[in-house]
Structure 1
Amino acid sequence: MIEETPKIPQATSKRLPLYYRFLQNFANLGKKRVSSSELSEAMKIDAATIRRDFSHFGALGRKGYGYDVHYLVEFFRQILDQDEGTDVALIGVGSLGSAFLKYNFHKNHNTRIVVAFDPKAPAEGKMLSGIPVFHPDTISEKIVELGIDLVILTVPSRVAQDVTDKLIKAGIKGILNFTPVRLTAPDEVRVHTIDLSVELQTLIYFMKNDVKNSQL
């Protein structure tokens, strides 16, 4: 989990997992050091932004040398708590939820879905893609039993807030929300909403305006 402090901007915090992934790629290729320009080319992020992000954590590199790849991989692994596994619950096993179960973060062995909930599941539960799926009536019990702090929410919009209220009472600290509902939650519960339709509409808008601007 990313530790955010007032010193680290939210935009920077969101880029930390990307830095870690690309630095791992460089390490796997046997690269010993990397410059902000090389990172910029690989990640398609402005080099000045990379240097500014890194500056929040002190002197991570040396002028004229660049950045030590192995050191940065270890540094960001600790920042992101990659040595500590995170168990996740999936709420809602429809089309999107089923895709999450099949994927189950296979490229990130420190994050894994360990339990799911769906109204179609029997009271005793059933197995899907190797994950136990239970009826939502057991959410509070299972969340506490498994010590889960993070859930992925892929339920119908009409029940999203009711389910969220139940999760909050069960002690959930983070919700990755894939419903279009803007969920109400206390300050101590972090909610990240990913509205696929909005993202698609935004992409279409930029595509059309890029074309218009190129014709001016």
Structure 2
Amino acid sequence: MPTRKIPRATAKRLPVYCRYLNALLNANKRRVSSTELSEAVQVDSATIRRDFSYFGELGKRGYGYDVESLIKFFKGILNQDKLTSVALVGVGSLGSALMNYNFHQSTNLRISAAFDPKPALANTIKSGIPVYPANELKKQIKEQQIDVVILTVPASQAQSVTDDLVEVGVHGILNFSPVRLSVPDNVQVQNIDFTNELQTLIYFIESNHLNGQDE
């Protein structure tokens, strides 16, 4: 297990490595080089070797990496050797789409509970997931011992819902709202902003076009 702090960028690449390694194992490939990994996941081989070095000696020079051993190691790092239940708050269009996504087929995650203030959704089953009224949020999060929540509520509600989640011990929030949440140091927030991602993508496309014109 790692004994020093792992950079955030490295941590975000670990699930990508794990998915590709699983594909290799399913194809009966037993070992892989950093160069082969680089071509598959579009991360340069020097970065892959540096990422892996945070966890000690995972491969052998001239041999590469043992696929099955790497999968077992990274599943332990990512807690993929046990099922993790998460909750979803906000069953609108985006929330409904996420509920329809089969997380458990490719990860160790499942949405086990959803919450929404709309009376028509209260105490129903949607995509196989129970939907509770918003006023049961704190009670159910505590009873089900849920530590991670996906937040897809309007901006005006995001901070107040977050305060309730922090109060009942949630330590991880995947935030799809456009609000930058205020949380204690022991709570991790991952912000997903589609607008920013699209604008960044368009910027790089335009930059590539301009660079091509200069050549």
Is the shorter-chain TM-score for this pair beyond 0.5, marking a shared fold?
A: yes
In structure 2, what is the Cα distance between the partners aligned to 1:124 and 1:69?
45
Deviation at 1:4, TM superposition (A): 7.7
Partner of 1:62: 60
Q: Deviations over 1:137-171 (max 9, x none)?
A: 11000100111000000000011001111111111
Which residue number in structure 2 is paired with residue 181 of structure 1?
Answer: 179
Deviation for aligned residue 1:121: 3.8
Find the aligned partners of 2:150 and 2:102 in 1 and give their Cα distance: 11
Distance in 2 between residues matched to 1:121 and 1:53, nearest whole Å:
48
Could you tell me how far apart the structure 2 residues matched to 1:157 and 1:215 are? 41
The 1-side partners of 2:131 and 2:108 are apart by 21
C-alpha distance in 1 between matches for 2:67 and 2:103: 24
Name the CA shift for 1:102/1:89 in 2 (closer, same or farther; >3 Å): same
Which segment is superposed worse, 147-156 or 104-113?
A: 104-113
Matched, 1:172 2:160: no
Measured against aligned partners, the alpha-carbon deviations of 1:80-109 in whole angstroms (never above 9, x if no partner) come to 111111100000001000001111414235
CA distance in structure 1 between the aligned counterparts of 2:27 and 2:5, rounded to whole angstroms: 33
After TM superposition, the structure 1 = structure 2 runs for residues 25-40 of structure 1, keeping only pairs within 5 Å, are 25-40=23-38
Residue 112 of structure 2 is matched in structure 1 by: 114
Matches within 5 A, 1:120-135: 120-121=118-119, 125-135=123-133
Shift of 1:59: 1.1
* Count of aligned pairs: 214
1:152 maps to a residue whose letter is: I
1:52 corresponds to which letter in structure 2? R
Specify whether residues 126 and 86 from structure 1 end up closer, same or farther in structure 2 by C-alpha distance, changes over 3 A only.
same
Q: Quote how far apart the aligned CAs of 1:52 are.
A: 0.7
For structure 2, the 5+ residue unaligned runs are none
**1:101 matched to which residue of 2?**
99
Matches within 5 A, 1:18-29: 18-29=16-27
**Alpha-carbon distance between aligned partners in 1 of 2:15 and 2:179, rounded to the nearest angstrom:** 26
Amino acid corresponding to residue 40 of structure 1 in structure 2? S
- Matched residue type, 1:79: I
Q: Deviations over 1:24-64 (max 9, x none)?
A: 11111111111000000111110000011111111111111
Q: Which residue of 2 aligns with 1:208?
A: 206
Q: Distance in 2 between matches of 1:20 and 1:199?
A: 24
- Give 1:157's aligned amino acid: A
For normalisation by structure 2, the TM-score amounts to 0.95
Q: Secondary structure at the match of 1:107?
A: helix
In 2, the alpha carbon distance for the partners of 1:82 and 1:169 equals 27
Task: Name 1:161's counterpart in structure 2.
Answer: 159
> For 1:179, what is the secondary structure of its paired residue?
coil
Q: Is 1:75 equivalent to 2:73 in the alignment?
A: yes
The answer for the alignment partner of 1:52 in structure 2 is: 50
How far residue 118 of structure 1 moved from its aligned partner, in angstroms, is: 0.7
**Structure 1 alignment gaps of length 5 or more:** none
Match of 1:41 in 2: 39
Distance 1:123 1:22, change over 3 A: closer
* Aligned mate of 1:152, from 143, 150, 153: 150
Do structure 1's residue 9 and structure 2's residue 31 form an aligned pair?
no
